Structures are given as structure tokens and as C-alpha cells.
Chain A
Amino acid sequence: MSTHAHKSMNPLLSLPTKKKEQIFSLLRKCKLTDEAVREQTGIASLTRLQVEQFFARYADEYWTMRVKRASNEANSLIKLVQKNPVEFSEGVLAALGQEVFRQIASGKVEPGVLVQFTQLFARKRADDRAERALIARLEKQKQDMRSKMELALDSFIAEVGKNPVAQKAFGVLKTELLGDMDKWELA
């Protein structure tokens, strides 16, 4: 049986998409009687069988549309994220796509909300990367300072051995420091 023949037999299937969605949604929530469907559509000759056929048929269409939209939207968002200057691993992209698909397929969120969610996700990720880069830079600076200090101390030690005045001053300093340490122990 062709789709055209099927639609000509059931006038509900020839209604505009928006109207079909509205009637399907109300039937799904059991908020519409056959009589109410006749009133809403203005088709007085509708039979119960036609209403049941419409529901069964449109449920299939509705599901296919929703899931197609979910998978298309998930693919589009992955492409959008891939264009972001921050690089994401394949694992992160797959997880993001799966979550987008799950949310839209289950009807929990609308696609527009997910675009915002993805942009926020990308921004947060960029911030995290910037923060990690800053920490790494500070750590490098600390390492550089430590290296320079070690170098200066090594030079100082070498110099002390050569210079009798510095050696004497270093001896005084050593005595003072050790003396202080004795006090700390007593304290």
C-alpha cells in the first residue's frame, strides 16, 4: 500500500504537521476522546479505527523524526566543537555527542538549549586549559629561580674557599647561626 493511498484513507494523516503533532501529543496523554478529535479537526466522519491508525502510524513517524533530529543535532554540535580553537580528544567528543543525543532523543531538552550548553562547555574547557597553562608557567618560573639560586650558592661556596676575608666572615656567620640554633633548642 502506498503512502498516498494510506493518507487518502485516513484524513488525519494529511493534516499539517503542527496539527498532527498537537493531536498526537494529546492522544498520547489520553487527553482527547474520538469526539474531541472530530471537533478539533472539523472532520465529522472520523471513525475510531482511523484515530487509532493515525496514532499508531504517527507514533512511528514521530519517533523517527525525533531520533533523526537528535543524531543530526549531536553530529552538528560535534562539528561545532571541532571548530573551536581548543582541541578535544575523540573520547570527549564521543561522550559529548552521546549526551546530546540522549537528551534530545528522550525529549528532555530542546536543541537550542544544547547549543548554549556546548558553547558554555567549550568556554569552560578553554578556561581550564588557560588555568592549567598558567600553573605550568608558574611552576617553570619557580624551577628557573631555584636553578639560578643553586648556581649562585655554588659560586658563593667556591668563592669562600678562595677568599680568606669571606672565609672569616662565613666562619662568624656559621658560629652565629649555630649559636642561634642552640638557643632555639633551649627555647
Chain B
Amino acid sequence: MKTTLPETEAPYTDPEALLQARVLKILKPCLSYWLDEQTLYLTLNLSRPAVTRARLETALRELRDKAYLDFRVDPLSRLTEWRLTPSGHSLAQPL
């Protein structure tokens, strides 16, 4: 059966680029607040459970290397937390 992807996903043919776009889209409404990696992972898999932890980590690393993401380790929970940098926000604007 032929299915149609939601409009925001149409331009991405590369699955890794699509995953990175989904990460940016999830982090966009967080503004300057940090989102922990576990919540990010659960959210990614909420509707389409296909993203493995390893794929997510690769996507996050690539986005961080391109300076679209900031990260820190929360001193209390010891969880890694992520947020968009200003250039990440610009990139995520149309999503």
C-alpha cells in the first residue's frame, strides 16, 4: 500500500539526515532549556519505534560536531542533556 510521509520529512532521502532533522525538530521547542538524552530517545521512538540508541548517538555526535547542538552532563542525574545552539535554531526554523 502506498503511504505518504508527513510534509516535514519529504525533503530527506537519507535516513540519517531524516533522523538528524527529527532530533532538531524535537529540540526546537525546548528553546534554551536542556533536554535529557533519555527523553529525547523515548520521544523519537514514540510514534515510529525504529531508532536505536547507537543511531541516535551518532546523529547527536554529528550535529554537535557541526555546532548545531550543545551538550552537558547534569551533575545530579548524571544524564547527558542537549539543546540547540543559535545556528541549530536557525537550521531548525523551517521544520
Contact = CB atoms under 8 A, between A and B. Distances in A.
Is the contact region of chain A dominated by helix, strand, or loop, or is it mixed?
helix
A70 B46 contact: no
Contacts of A49: 1, 3
A60 B1 contact: no
A126 interface: no
B4 interface: yes
B93 interface: no
A74 B33 CA distance: 9
A177 interface: no
A115 interface: no
Contact of A97 (B3, B6, B33): B33
Contacts, number: 53
A71 interface: yes
Interface string B12-54: 0000000000000110011101111001000100111000000
Nearest to B34: A98
A105 B82 CA distance: 14
Contacts of B43: 63
Bin the interface of chain B by size.
Answer: 10 to 19
A67 B36 CA distance: 13
Contacts of A63: 26, 43, 46
A105 B39 contact: yes
B47 A67 contact: no
4 closest A-B pairs by CB: A59-B47, A56-B47, A101-B33, A67-B29
A75 B47 CA distance: 29
B38 to A, nearest CB: 10
Interface of A: 1-3, 6, 28, 49, 53, 55-57, 59-60, 63-64, 67-68, 70-71, 74-75, 97-98, 101-102, 105-106
Contacts of A57: 6, 47
Nearest to A53: B3
A6 B30 contact: no
B65 interface: no
A74 to B, nearest CB: 6
B33 A98 contact: yes
B94 to A, nearest CB: 14
A105 B7 CA distance: 25
B39 A60 contact: no
Contact of B46 (A53, A59, A75, A105): A59
Contact of A106 (B30, B34, B39): B39
B2 to A, nearest CB: 10
B6 A60 contact: yes
Nearest to A57: B6
Given A6-B6, A106-B39, 18 more contacts: A1-B6, A2-B7, A3-B7, A49-B1, A55-B47, A63-B43, A63-B46, A64-B29, A67-B30, A67-B35, A74-B33, A98-B33, A98-B34, A101-B34, A102-B34, A105-B30, A105-B33, A105-B35
